[in-house]
Chain A
Amino acid sequence: MATIPTAHVLMVAGALVCIGAFGVLLRRNLLFMLLSLEVMLNGAALAFVGAGARWQQPDGQIFVIFIMAMAAAEVAVGLALILLIFRRSATLDADRLDVLRG
């Protein structure tokens, strides 16, 4: 049986979200931006699980399951888009992908 202050769980979750935001801002490669988004989603998932454990309800875990379903759909479409972009313009540089009709 673990006793952990709620604030500490939320601090770890907040740190993960900040690291993910840092990665999205820092990176120019679309693949790494997607990777950083996953880190942010995991931070949100930890906050949900922490809240679910705090009030001892299963709702927190259920929302993590929804986050995972959303992440799976997002990654499927995102990676298909990345492959399409790569086939068309042979680059994944977010700074150069500013033309809609490449």
Chain B
Amino acid sequence: MTETFYIASAFAVLAALLAVTRSNPLHAVLYLVLSLFALAIDFLVLGAPFVAALEIIVYAGAIVVVIMFVIMMVAGAAASREQERSWMPPRAWIVPALLAGALALLTLGSLAGAGGQAIAAPTIGPREVGAVLFTTYLIGVELASVLLLAGLVGAYYLGSRD
């Protein structure tokens, strides 16, 4: 199981790197889906089967599909491969790579020394998650529903007028 985590993590990181650098938008989204699936395997290994299922159903199944629809709606005009490639000349990579590299160096460097305690993950199933979610975090659930309603109304308002 431990090897599974490292293999899936390597897949998740590589696929994420490909997703943010591809010039074809649909390829980028498919790499993002691959990254999400690898991350779902990570969640499963870490003893979170409920979140692993949600990651595939909600993230890969709903959110990414919506992004894909919008890419197809604006495809050709705004998201062509040639345009994307012309927007990413080699010199445009330098500053983002330096900044993100410095950030990665700081993050990973500070964690490299710390071994940390090992996780021996027992499964925390949907029953435990649901019990705490609807007692301790009930106010959070209500706030999330208000947020989703605001998102729905906002998307409807922005999409309906010309």
Do the beta carbons of B42 and A46 come within 8 Å of each other? yes
A6, A27, A71: the one within 8 Å of B119 (CB): A6
Q: Give CA–CA (A36, B128) in the complex, Å.
A: 32
Residue of B nearest to A87 (CB): B162
Per-residue CB contact flags for chain A residues 3-35 toward chain B (1 = under 8 Å, else 0) read 111111111101111111111011111011011
Q: Give CA–CA (A62, B128) in the complex, Å.
A: 10
Q: Give CA–CA (A88, B83) in the complex, Å.
A: 19
Do the beta carbons of A2 and B147 come within 8 Å of each other? no
Apart from A12-B13, A31-B70, A53-B119, what are 15 other A-B pairs with CB-CB below 8 Å? A2-B4, A2-B47, A4-B45, A6-B117, A11-B107, A12-B9, A26-B88, A28-B87, A32-B28, A42-B35, A50-B119, A54-B117, A58-B131, A68-B55, A86-B78
Do the beta carbons of A21 and B100 come within 8 Å of each other? yes
Residues of B within 8 A of A58 (CB): 124, 128-129, 131-133
Interface residues on A, range: 35 or more
Do the beta carbons of B108 and A15 come within 8 Å of each other? yes
CB distance from A57 to the nearest CB of B (A): 8
Give residues 13-34 of B contacting A (CB, 8 Å): 13, 16-17, 19-21, 25, 28-29, 32
Residues of A within 8 A of B39 (CB): 42, 45-46
Residues of B within 8 A of A35 (CB): 19-20, 28-29, 32, 67
A5, A18, A52, A83: the one within 8 Å of B118 (CB): A5
Residue of B nearest to A82 (CB): B70
CB distance from A89 to the nearest CB of B (A): 10
A-B contact pairs, 17 of them (CB 8 A): A1-B120, A6-B118, A14-B104, A14-B108, A25-B99, A26-B93, A28-B87, A29-B79, A39-B20, A42-B16, A45-B39, A50-B46, A52-B46, A53-B124, A64-B48, A65-B51, A76-B66
